[in-house]
Structure 1
Amino acid sequence: MPRTYLVTGAASGIGQATAALLRARGHTVIGADLASGDIRADLSTAEGRAELAARARELSGGRLDGVVACAGVAQPDPLTVKVNHFGAVATLDGLRPLLAAGTDPRALVIGSIDSVHPTDPAIVDAALADDEERAVAASRAAVDRGEGQLVYSSSKAAVSRWVRRHAVTPRWAGAGIPLNAVAPGVILTPMTRPLLDDPDMLKLVEQSVPMPLHGHARPEQITPLIAWLTSPDNTHVTGQVVFADGGADAVLRGDGTW
């Protein structure tokens, strides 16, 4: 049965590939992005988040069957936590009423293998406390002391922990809405290509994200998992951070996490 999805970050990368797969399967997809798509909204701002929710309600007729929050950035800058955590949470929370009105509703956010790398507790704690001003200040402090790389990993760790906390609550599981995260490894996108084309950076990337199964992935290799997790076939998987990383998590953390 055709479903109606909203996908943020739909103009490029995993978001674009997800929208393409869902449309190819006969579903309606409302694409949202910063500068193009059915909805143009800056998810780093309160105004952009409100615009997303308002336009989604208008374009969907008040109901959605799936939401995939793909919008994200990877800069050593406070913008990263504003988009990757607060923008994603606002997307999921803001569209939850539309999901509650849908059929077999499902929701998903894109995490990252970087969530298992070192993080800045000040950023993560502020994000999970829903204190955007404090999270931005902590991100700026990390950049100022030369640890800007922690902003991205912290943003992805925070949103992954948010999923774990909220998926099992009455608002999500109690309302019959599975909520999950997919954590990719290195994905071949315009954002990562400059790094991978530099031999020295490529060596660092492969050391920090070892992917023994098939190496780096194309966006379209991740989308079937996203499509299944947000389909009616998924009746019981919720609160999970599913690593689609070619084995990187198993290499980096081994079996100690269990």
Structure 2
Amino acid sequence: MTRTIVVTGAASGIGRATAELLKKRGDTVIGVDLAGTDISADLTTHEGRDHMVARVREMTGGTLDGVVANAGLARELPATVGVNYFGALATLEGLRPLLAQSATPRAVATASMASLFPVDDELVDAMLAPDEPAALHRATELIEAGTASTIYGSTKRALAKWIRRNAATADWAGAGIALNAVAPGVMRTPMTEKMMATPEAEAQLLEQVPMPLNGVGTPETVAHLIGYLTSVENTHLCGQVVFIDGGSDVVIRGDSTW
């Protein structure tokens, strides 16, 4: 069965690997990124988000089988809040009506094991409100205070919480839409290449992000998990944040979640 799936952040990294995998299995993929894909859109802006939704509706005729809200930044900038959280929500919520027209709708967001690190609670609360101006303002305050390192993890913590809070609601599970997230550890992507420019830098990173099972991963590793989550076989996973991190979650949290 040919399925039509939107993948944001499809020009590189996990998004590109996912788009390629889905195409190989016979799906029709609509890629979204700043450039180099089917739809060029800046998901940090309201205009870009609206344009993406409108173009997907035009290209699909109003029915969509899957959404992979993967676009993201790992920079210590307010734009990271704009794309990682509000861009992801605009993708998921904006395309949800199209998913509801499918017989087997699936949606996946890309969170991160960075959600396990210390976050800024005020920023997380502003995102969940949802109050984008307040969240962007708080990100600016964190930059000015020299604590911008909490921005990325905060966006991913908020996104994971949003998934958990919404997956079982009438709009999602009630409409037959399986909504879940993946939480990668360190993967070799353009986003992380500067962090691992030398063997010493990579070793230092793995001290912060322990990955006892096979170390640093590849985008294809995550793509295969997303491939299952968007497949017709995934009939009952609901609201799960699946850590694909070489064991970081286990090392950091142990059995505390139980």
Structure 2 length-normalised TM: 0.98
Query: Counterpart in 1 of 2:52?
Result: 52
Q: Does 1:213 align with 2:213?
A: yes
Which deviations, in whole Å up to 9, do the C-alpha atoms of 1:35-78 show, x marking residues without a partner? 22111100000000000100000011111100001100000011
Query: Counterpart in 2 of 1:194?
Result: 194
Instruction: After TM superposition, list the pairs within 5 Å mapping 1:80-229 onto structure 2.
Output: 80-229=80-229
**How many residues are treated as equivalent by the alignment?**
258
- Displacement of 1:226 after TM fit? 0.5
Which deviations, in whole Å up to 9, do the C-alpha atoms of 1:179-205 show, x marking residues without a partner? 001000001012211211235532431
SS at match of 1:95: helix
SS at match of 1:222: helix
Query: Counterpart in 2 of 1:77?
Result: 77
Q: How far apart are the structure 2 equivalents of 1:203 and 1:211?
A: 11
Which deviations, in whole Å up to 9, do the C-alpha atoms of 1:80-137 show, x marking residues without a partner? 0110000000000000001001120000000000001000001100000010000011
Which deviations, in whole Å up to 9, do the C-alpha atoms of 1:203-246 show, x marking residues without a partner? 43112211011111110111111011111111110101000001
Which consecutive unaligned segments of at least 5 residues does structure 2 have?
Answer: none
Which consecutive unaligned segments of at least 5 residues does structure 1 have?
Answer: none
Q: How far apart are the structure 2 equivalents of 1:152 and 1:200?
A: 23
Matched AA of 1:113: M
Q: How far apart are the structure 1 equivalents of 2:13 and 2:120?
A: 27
Matched AA of 1:148: A
Q: How far apart are the structure 1 equivalents of 2:191 and 2:256?
A: 32
Q: How far apart are the structure 1 equivalents of 2:123 and 2:113?
A: 18
Q: How far apart are the structure 2 equivalents of 1:114 and 1:204?
A: 16
Q: How far apart are the structure 2 equivalents of 1:41 and 1:250?
A: 37
Q: How far apart are the structure 1 equivalents of 2:172 and 2:204?
A: 39
Query: Counterpart in 2 of 1:234?
Result: 234
SS at match of 2:55: helix
Moved segments of 4+, more than 6 Å: none
Identity %: 55
Which deviations, in whole Å up to 9, do the C-alpha atoms of 1:138-188 show, x marking residues without a partner? 111111111111000000000110000010110001000010010000010
Matched AA of 1:186: V
How big is the alpha-carbon RMSD for the aligned residues of Structure 1 and Structure 2?
0.9
Query: Counterpart in 2 of 1:14?
Result: 14
Instruction: After TM superposition, list the pairs within 5 Å mapping 1:31-42 onto structure 2.
Output: 31-42=31-42
SS at match of 2:242: strand
SS at match of 1:31: strand
SS at match of 2:202: helix
Q: How far apart are the structure 2 equivalents of 1:147 and 1:78?
A: 13
